[in-house]
């Protein structure tokens, strides 16, 4: 049976009001955290549960699905110390165009054509080809997760995988600037901040003329 999640009690930051999204529509409840807003929220959720029966056939919108996935990402993409990784921000950024153009679309009705529309919006915004491909992969991953959790039928994700990545020279997307070598002076000045092992690795690569120096992390 598909997992059922009740609509979340959320904060609308610009107004300071509580809101709940039901069937793709935002309902504002009053001051966030107030008893009145929570009572109103409970009433609306009770109505939603009554209308949807056992809830197993509840059709999420793209807005709803993205909210659920971001909640998951904030828990999943964490370092050992519990801090979120940069992937959380990347996921949120990738979903902006998806939400902008298809937020009210039922997740189960999302199609390759609609995914290509999202990709075209990224091209029109002047983003580079490799960045677009990475974000398209993230969007597909959202739907793979949605299938795993039985929010959408498996054929939705399968269909989206048919949308191939943009190929170099075969799309209107611009190419990213080539990565240039780091100036040797910059590397030399950074060496004192590195651990002995990394220092040895960098010196070896400098001595041998190796390309692709490892990333250099300077502690704050």
Q: Domain boundaries in the chain?
A: 10-51, 62-160, 179-220
What is the CB neighbour count within 10 angstroms for residue 91?
22
Q: What is the pLDDT of residues 119-165, one digit of tens each?
A: 999 999 999 999 999 999 999 999 999 999 888 889 999 999 999 99
CATH of domain 62-160: 1.10.150
For residue 114, which of 141, 136, 88 has the smallest C-alpha distance? 136
Provide the pLDDT confidence category of residue 197 given band limits of 50, 70 and 90.
confident
15-24, 67-76, 146-155, 181-190: lowest mean pLDDT where?
181-190
CA 20/CA 8 separation, integer angstroms? 6
The pLDDT of residue 5:
64
Mean pLDDT of 21-26: 84
């Amino acid at each position: 049976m598909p997992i059922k999640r009740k609509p979340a009690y959320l904060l609308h930051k610009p107004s300071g009001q509580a809101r709940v999204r039901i069937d793709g529509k935002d309902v504002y409840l009053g001051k966030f955290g107030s008893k009145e807003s929570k009572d109103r929220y409970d009433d609306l959720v009770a109505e939603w549960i009554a209308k949807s029966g056992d809830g197993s056939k509840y059709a999420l919108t793209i807005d709803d699905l993205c909210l659920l996935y971001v909640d998951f990402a904030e828990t999943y993409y964490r370092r050992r110390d519990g801090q979120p990784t940069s992937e959380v921000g990347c996921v949120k950024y990738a979903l902006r165009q998806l939400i902008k153009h298809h937020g009210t679309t039922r997740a189960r009705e999302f199609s390759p054509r609609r995914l290509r529309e999202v990709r075209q919006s990224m091209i029109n915004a002047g983003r580079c080809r490799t960045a677009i491909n990475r974000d398209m992969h993230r969007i597909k991953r959202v739907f793979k997760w949605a299938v795993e959790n039985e929010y959408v039928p498996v054929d939705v994700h399968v269909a989206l995988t048919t949308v191939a990545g943009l190929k170099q020279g075969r799309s209107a997307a611009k190419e990213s600037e080539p990565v240039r070598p780091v100036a040797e002076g910059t590397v030399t000045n950074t060496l004192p901040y590195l651990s002995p092992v990394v220092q040895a690795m960098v010196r070896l690569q400098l001595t041998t003329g190796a390309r692709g120096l490892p990333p250099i992390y300077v502690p704050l």
